[in-house]
Amino acid sequence: MRRPDDILGYSGIVYCLMKLFAVSDLHVDYRENLNWIRSLSREDYQEDVLLLAGDVTDDLRLLGSTLRALKSCFSEVLFVPGNHELWIDDGVFSCSLEKFDAVMSLCSLEGIRTSVYRQGCVSIVPLLSWYDFSFGQPDAFLQRAWRDFRACRWPAELDSQAKICDFFLRQNDRYLSTYNTHVISFSHFLPRLDVMPAAIPKHRRRVYPVLGSARLDHQIRELQPAIHVYGHSHVNQTIEIDGISYMNNAFATPKEERIARKELVCIFNTEAVPSFLAGENRRESA
């Protein structure tokens, strides 16, 4: 059996043995989605890593049991919270930041990684974010319909979506100098609007203002990963822009079968990617 940190080297070439799977927006409040989690093999992925890009559930107890189930399947599970994790309209928490701290503590308790994870020649970087209306201003319909505006509550000093987004983006600063042969990042929120397919109908674009932040992409550009995985939109997509592959593998709701694959996707297999020890790296020199 290979060890999680296996590196086999010869002739100046290093092989880091790992498969990385990604999924987001599991929404296990739907019984069909929870049953899918329970149906995952407990043997097939034991040496692999799962990247989980937010929106599992707003129920903290259900989040814990879901994370435990996934951790029993994979060698490592990496997680960033989505907006659903910060809903507090059940009255248990007084503030969404308090809920955020509780989610992160739960992850620590369950052995779920929420900081940079390095395995040999691969580093995986979680990036927190929110939306700041850099993708557009919400119309009256969205202001009424978007549940975050009712289900999240913030400290007085975070009195705008831009300030909320800035709070989370600042948490990423310590990770932006991550350096390795292969760097992969992930977030729940979208870093740019042009990852959305052009075929999205106009009436569906009303949600664009709450999809993410252009400032998140500024951080991604500083980090320079080969791949960035995002969630939130529920629209599965892979697109390369300026040398970075942006990927979405949202599981989404049971009804969203046309836009979501409803399966795990292997986004990176290091067994097939040799890297050279002689100074070659993902990041380009200035």
In a domain, 240, yes or no: yes
196 in a structural domain: yes
Q: Give the pLDDT confidence score for residue 280 in this predicted structure.
A: 34
Residue 53 within a domain: yes
Domain assignment of residue 2, yes or no: no
CB-CB contact of 33 with 251 (8 Å): yes
What's the CATH code of the domain at 195?
Answer: 3.60.21.10
For the chain, the distance separating the N- and C-terminal CA atoms, rounded to the nearest angstrom, is 41
Other C-beta atoms within 10 Å of 154: how many?
17
Dist. CA 62–CA 64, nearest whole Å: 5
What are the CA-CA distances from residue 239 to residues 193, 206, 228, 257 (Å)?
12, 22, 10, 20
Whether 244 contacts 223, CB under 8 Å: no
HSE of 43 in the Cβ direction (CA atoms, 13 Å)? 0
CA separation for the pair 96, 93 (Å, rounded): 7
Range of the domain at 179: 7-276
Residues 8-28 as b or e (16 or more Cβ within 10 Å = b): eeeeeebbbbbbbbbbbbbbb
Predicted confidence at residue 71, as pLDDT, reads 98
Four-CA torsion 89, 95, 100, 103, nearest 10 degrees = -60
Structure tokens at 121: 């020649």
Give per-residue pLDDT as tens, 67-121: 999 999 999 999 999 999 999 988 899 999 999 999 999 999 999 999 999 999 9
- CB-based contacts of 48, cutoff 8 Å, min separation 6: 18, 19, 20, 21, 74, 75
Identity of the amino acid at 145: A
Residue 235: inside a domain, yes or no? yes
CB-neighbour burial class of residue 38 (10 A; exposed 0-12, middle 13-18, buried 19+): exposed
Burial of residue 148 (CB within 10 Å: 0-12, 13-18, 19+) is middle
Is 284 a domain residue?
no
Residue 1 lies in a domain: no
**Structural domains counted in the chain:** 1
Q: Which pLDDT score, from 0 to 100, does residue 5 have?
A: 40
The pLDDT value recorded for residue 272 is: 67
Q: For residues 286 and 283, give the distance between their C-alpha atoms in angstroms, rounded to a whole number.
A: 9
Q: Is residue 282 part of a domain?
A: no
Instruction: Print pLDDT tens along the chain (286 aa).
Output: 333 344 343 344 445 678 999 999 999 999 999 999 999 999 999 999 999 999 999 999 999 999 999 999 999 999 999 999 999 988 899 999 999 999 999 999 999 999 999 999 999 999 999 999 999 999 999 999 999 999 999 999 999 999 999 999 999 999 999 999 999 999 999 999 999 999 999 999 999 999 999 999 999 999 999 999 999 999 999 999 999 999 999 999 999 998 999 999 999 997 765 433 322 333 332 2
